[in-house]
Structure 1
């Protein structure tokens, strides 16, 4: 074969651009790699799909969990509501002892606005002799009244004419004042409001400022978030939030204050769930009741209903545009915009809210000008913090646990009480003013006090003070300080005697001579009068009026200690008391509340009714859960009790409380001073036609204070009476009691023509039918005719 042929027989080389077939070995390797890569890819895709599926299931499951949490809390009792404690409703009636000044005080306390012309509920107009009131709708236990116009006309210090909606009526009531709120353990407080009763202007302002797209988004608003992001970038700081109202509700209602991405995502997720499950109006109403709007010391103020009362002292429906705008302005930062600490900040933001309302045509120009020129006027800080009354709350809890123990922990109770806010205010101010004056005048310190005021007619507790600092939640002396009552017990001794009308009268002669006896320890007891003098013989009435010790002991021992003890029990003192001779002078220890029970029965002419604070208890839905309507029981002879009260009136005229009569010469008052051994306790218990008041002054360490009942407690009572306005006792004798002449020396009933006589009321059935003069004591015809 030639070389050419050999050369021609060689295969031609392929250019690099032409495709080349892989060798069998290389093709095998490539195919194997491809086969190996395909399962890995499928595995990764499968794993990713499974992870995604797990994540979706997890998110959905978490959503179900969150949904159950939301449903449980949102559809159950959403909030632990405090119990609301209401005072008595002020009763207006022709002849009622409600002075013009007291009515104006009550209206001021209730937050009524004084205007020239009465147009809407919550307003009143007053002249010198008349008050026109547009009364708010009210509920008081079973009683419900709509809004109505009242005209109250005065003659002197009493109501002469009462009209309702232009018609004369026998009586009308003003709504009871909310005096306190017993908080839950969460330290939160709120007054729930219904959406339909919220002013529309508040809703418009709220949505403009906080969430303009509220009715259009699904719980989370990307548009709002973007808008806030742009605003914050431009400002270089956080000036606007992107949270919707729903998100804010979630944050306040379900979540903590923690700041993290996880919490923010959870907030958004829950907002979407809430928006899907509930209507916009229901969400908005929950927001209005949940939003945090300030701090009342340790208690958080939640919701617009409470904030309205807290800052302005009025219901939400009665606020003007400027006040509504102020509340909306505070949402951004209640502490930063605190109206007491930073009024200028609040004013600036309030005006921003008003400007938005104007720009969006919710306000006319004139309305805007009027609102923007109003100052940010809120209640004084001391009034805004609803004055706590710990002594009252202690009594209420104790009484509630006895009346209906199952209700103590119930949510949102409405408790209607007998408390009189004007009496409470007068008692608190009297305590705060009198004690420092006494300390300075007598060079003493660390005085404490307790005051109990009860209604003379019903036995309801009108006021209670347990500390010289009325708002201090410490030892409640009104209920728990058990101290010797001194001469406050003497009326019990004298009533026990007067009940035996055949033997005793106000003119009965008692021995005021030295007496001595040995007690159970073998020690000799020789009681002394306060002035260490003996008067020989004194009348029963003078012995009580002058608070003489020796005649009282002689009388009590002749009656028998058991009889005096029984009389005390009949008047309502239920705590066991062992009686000794010294008990007749007040070594018996009692609490001010027990003394108040004793004198409540005396003031009611022997009719006993247990002292009580609670009238009725309603649920948050206004269902009556408990009601107290105690009746009076005649425990002591009415005629004998009248004689006793006649003498107690004389105590304030010429006896140990005569300084009271000098301060109030136009009023018939009655009462008794009391002083314990060594002047450690100063007491006064007194009454007019309206109030029975018990006052104790002393020291917690039982140290000597050097004050008698006359120099101590009586001064506090006089201060109370000055602030409260006294109502004179009528002192009308019951049937069977009439003024009678008695021989001064013997205490025997005699005729009016006798000499050396005294005239006092007496029980006629016990008088002898033939009442002549004592020997040689008949007046001559000249004396009978000319009086001398």
Structure 2
């Protein structure tokens, strides 16, 4: 056997033998034993902390989302502030055509308080010829006006002087603040008047924190203790009687959330409150709350913020409220509807007194102050005194002019301020006159309607406008939209054209009053008639004018040319097409009260044409004026000729077709002209005093007969207007180019003063050449006719 084989055999023997027997099984108990698993506590903990991380991450991400929403609101434009529309600002200066009574009426409209001796802003005292006024500060289009105390004195012509009380310095001009007429809202229906926190009276802030959130300056947006306390009180009462929301939570809800009650909304509100408190200072949060909080309902408008609430409840700026009034503003926050002071005055007063008692208990009022406050009435504005004006006719003109001058998108801008030409006292007088006169005239004809425009003679602004016999009705604006024959209102422009030819015509020139028949190019004939169906042969030019005699007017118009009359009317501001037919000389020209007011404004303004406007200026949100083209005056009519026309119009009132008006105001110089269209379908009047020009139409929308003349219809409205707004006599000061002439009554020949049968009348200096004695040279009419 070899060594190799021997080694293999030995290795084989040494290897263990494979057993053929079955292995002994392990015990049952040992076979079923497994590793032990974690306990339920550890498993819940594991799930909880993982879910917690997810929730925290979700809240964090959601918080970032909410933070962006909040930042956009707070750091951008918090509110879309409505456009504020103001009236004109009353200007007072030596010679201003403002009477003592009119100033006092204006001050009362602005909410000034009459006292024995003014001691603070917003007060005035008055004697028979003086007014001692402490004016409020306000924003004027020409810049901010500071509070100022002045003494205003009056004479029979109006304002005689304005002096500053502190040093008796005479002021060249002094403005009152304009009346806030309205705010033009956007679609959300929220109305507010923004007031910075520093201009909110401190007692309001103190009372607000005391009543609504005592720990406002300590908490971080939410107050867990207040929430728990409110929960316990509500559970005990079985209903919700107390809330635990902080001012910050209320702000978050008002700014970003609905009023729907749910746990999800409440959690979101709390989260947003924490973010707001973290990001912004307490003063900024408080200012936002004071201007956002819901304070009541003015019909379809939601009243938001303390500034507007002060005007809504008391009709005056928040800075001028008494302590009890300030307490009421805080009291009403809890429930503006429930504590409505006009519906539930006792409930509202009890709530106010509770706020006052809390102030006393917090040592912010002493017992004497508290007693005086709770014994005072609520001091509300009169319920019938609106906080915004119903001026549909005027506002329609304003919006049209805004769009034309500044573009259609202007009113979409936040916080703009529109200063208009409206005179609130003139508007009130116009509305009263329309209601009173139309009620009287309507007894015989309920279909009668009216349109009225009043302008300011000095500014060429629209001072008042009424477009319906129900002034607040928003519909067809007859002051602007009608086109009706203006009748004899065209005659001043016929006579102005003639009087401009001083070498041919003066106020005493005889004019033919004889039958006349005119033929048109189509062969149609026209024979004008006088209203009384009589002919006088000849009448002086002034008599033909003041008595509104038709035939002499046509004869005069034909002699100077229909085209010349049309040119005069166009220069005066008539912008519609003027038909150059003979019938135009008697008023076959269609127009509106606004168009009539425009041309008579030119006569009242010494022949200067200025386009009538309703807007003086517009300021943007930062109080910067928006650029606009200035209105440039144009001398349309010769001042001397215009003076003669003005004089003739005063004679219409003194002894002509408007003499009833003259008798109603016997010591006042007024100018006017009546007008009636064919078959008495349209009654017109245009007239002016030293301050205002008025144009009025009375008629029927169906163009039916009214049985009214200009003197019995439209002039009656003007007379009632002046009854409520006493006129200021025209100042007929001498003008260059006009002399006091003397003329023979029947021939119109220029005479020396003192000649027999002569009359004194103003005349153009350039053409007035009286005879050296009282002889009888050829009259002007004879020179013209050659006879």
* TM-score, normalised via structure 1 length: 0.91
Matched-pair contact (CA < 8 Å) for 1:514–1:550: yes
Q: What does residue range 655-670 of structure 1 map to in structure 2 within 5 Å? A: 655-670=656-671
Q: What does residue range 476-625 of structure 1 map to in structure 2 within 5 Å? A: 476-519=477-520, 522-625=523-626
Aligned to 2:744: 743
1:307-356 CA deviation, whole Å, 9 max, x = no partner? Answer: 11111111111111100111111111111111111111101100111110
Pair 553,41 (structure 1): closer, same or farther in 2 beyond 3 Å: same
Matched-pair contact (CA < 8 Å) for 1:614–1:628: no
Matched-pair contact (CA < 8 Å) for 2:163–2:169: yes
Provide the secondary structure at the position in 2 that maps to 1:94: coil
Provide the secondary structure at the position in 2 that maps to 1:262: helix
Matched-pair contact (CA < 8 Å) for 2:751–2:770: no
1:50-83 CA deviation, whole Å, 9 max, x = no partner? Answer: 5443333222222222111111122111111111
Equivalent residue in structure 2 for 1:249, among 235, 246, 251: 251
Partner Cα separation in structure 2 for residue 773 and residue 119 of structure 1: 69
Matched-pair contact (CA < 8 Å) for 2:311–2:387: no
Aligned to 2:714: 713
Equivalent residue in structure 2 for 1:183, among 182, 185, 200: 185
Residue 163 of structure 1 and its aligned partner are, at CA, apart by 2.1
Aligned to 2:679: 678
Aligned to 2:74: 74
1:354-406 CA deviation, whole Å, 9 max, x = no partner? Answer: 11011111111111011100111211122143222222221111222222226
Pair 350,679 (structure 1): closer, same or farther in 2 beyond 3 Å: same
Partner Cα separation in structure 1 for residue 629 and residue 143 of structure 2: 15
Partner Cα separation in structure 1 for residue 755 and residue 134 of structure 2: 63
Aligned to 2:435: 432
Aligned to 2:338: 336
Q: What does residue range 83-162 of structure 1 map to in structure 2 within 5 Å? A: 83-156=83-156, 158-162=158-162
Residue 47 of structure 1 and its aligned partner are, at CA, apart by 6.0
Pair 31,633 (structure 1): closer, same or farther in 2 beyond 3 Å: same
Partner Cα separation in structure 2 for residue 74 and residue 752 of structure 1: 81
Q: What does residue range 769-784 of structure 1 map to in structure 2 within 5 Å? A: 770=771
1:81-104 CA deviation, whole Å, 9 max, x = no partner? Answer: 111122222222334332221121
Q: 745-754 or 94-103: which moved more?
A: 745-754
Pair 598,157 (structure 1): closer, same or farther in 2 beyond 3 Å: closer
Matched-pair contact (CA < 8 Å) for 1:434–1:716: yes
Partner Cα separation in structure 1 for residue 314 and residue 38 of structure 2: 75
1:187-207 CA deviation, whole Å, 9 max, x = no partner? Answer: 111111111111110011111
Aligned to 2:317: 315
Q: What does residue range 719-738 of structure 1 map to in structure 2 within 5 Å? A: 719-738=720-739
Partner Cα separation in structure 1 for residue 736 and residue 107 of structure 2: 41
Partner Cα separation in structure 1 for residue 113 and residue 746 of structure 2: 64
Equivalent residue in structure 2 for 1:414, among 413, 417, 428: 417
Partner Cα separation in structure 1 for residue 306 and residue 604 of structure 2: 46
Partner Cα separation in structure 1 for residue 33 and residue 592 of structure 2: 105
Pair 40,455 (structure 1): closer, same or farther in 2 beyond 3 Å: same
Provide the secondary structure at the position in 2 that maps to 1:749: coil
Matched-pair contact (CA < 8 Å) for 1:615–1:629: no
1:436-483 CA deviation, whole Å, 9 max, x = no partner? Answer: 02223xx11133222211111221221122222222222222222222
Provide the secondary structure at the position in 1 that maps to 2:151: strand
Pair 130,80 (structure 1): closer, same or farther in 2 beyond 3 Å: same
Matched-pair contact (CA < 8 Å) for 1:642–1:733: no
Q: 581-590 or 150-159: which moved more?
A: 150-159
Matched-pair contact (CA < 8 Å) for 1:616–1:628: no
Residue 48 of structure 1 and its aligned partner are, at CA, apart by 5.5
Partner Cα separation in structure 2 for residue 394 and residue 203 of structure 1: 40
Q: 37-46 or 166-175: which moved more?
A: 37-46
Partner Cα separation in structure 1 for residue 29 and residue 769 of structure 2: 149
Aligned to 1:8: none
Q: 517-526 or 306-315: which moved more?
A: 517-526
Partner Cα separation in structure 2 for residue 478 and residue 566 of structure 1: 24
Matched-pair contact (CA < 8 Å) for 1:100–1:157: no
Aligned to 1:219: 221
Partner Cα separation in structure 1 for residue 554 and residue 33 of structure 2: 127
Q: What does residue range 270-285 of structure 1 map to in structure 2 within 5 Å? A: 270-285=272-287
Partner Cα separation in structure 1 for residue 691 and residue 116 of structure 2: 33
* TM-score, normalised via structure 2 length: 0.91
Pair 356,614 (structure 1): closer, same or farther in 2 beyond 3 Å: same
Equivalent residue in structure 2 for 1:399, among 398, 401, 405: 401
Q: RMSD of the alignment, in Å?
A: 2.4
1:628-653 CA deviation, whole Å, 9 max, x = no partner? Answer: 64332211111111111111000001
1:144-203 CA deviation, whole Å, 9 max, x = no partner? Answer: 332121122344563344321241313322222222222222211111111111111001
Q: 661-670 or 545-554: which moved more?
A: 545-554
Matched-pair contact (CA < 8 Å) for 2:189–2:301: yes
Pair 43,666 (structure 1): closer, same or farther in 2 beyond 3 Å: same
Partner Cα separation in structure 2 for residue 404 and residue 776 of structure 1: 62
Pair 204,299 (structure 1): closer, same or farther in 2 beyond 3 Å: same
Equivalent residue in structure 2 for 1:261, among 246, 252, 263: 263
Residue 777 of structure 1 and its aligned partner are, at CA, apart by 11
Partner Cα separation in structure 2 for residue 97 and residue 321 of structure 1: 39
Residue 520 of structure 1 and its aligned partner are, at CA, apart by 5.3
Aligned to 1:764: 765
Partner Cα separation in structure 2 for residue 261 and residue 81 of structure 1: 32
Residue 576 of structure 1 and its aligned partner are, at CA, apart by 2.4
1:54 matches 2:36: no
Provide the secondary structure at the position in 2 that maps to 1:416: strand
Matched-pair contact (CA < 8 Å) for 1:668–1:728: yes
Residue 30 of structure 1 and its aligned partner are, at CA, apart by 4.4
Matched-pair contact (CA < 8 Å) for 1:743–1:774: no
Aligned to 2:5: none
Partner Cα separation in structure 1 for residue 502 and residue 515 of structure 2: 27
Residue 705 of structure 1 and its aligned partner are, at CA, apart by 2.0
Matched-pair contact (CA < 8 Å) for 2:82–2:416: yes
1:474-503 CA deviation, whole Å, 9 max, x = no partner? Answer: 222222222221111111111111111111
Partner Cα separation in structure 1 for residue 260 and residue 282 of structure 2: 27
Partner Cα separation in structure 1 for residue 170 and residue 679 of structure 2: 56
Pair 53,235 (structure 1): closer, same or farther in 2 beyond 3 Å: closer
Partner Cα separation in structure 2 for residue 428 and residue 49 of structure 1: 75
Aligned to 2:454: 453
Partner Cα separation in structure 1 for residue 551 and residue 202 of structure 2: 75
Q: 482-491 or 729-738: which moved more?
A: 729-738
Residue 587 of structure 1 and its aligned partner are, at CA, apart by 1.9
Equivalent residue in structure 1 for 2:32, among 8, 29, 35: 29
How many residues are aligned here?
A: 752
- Structure 2 gaps, min length 5: 1-24, 780-787
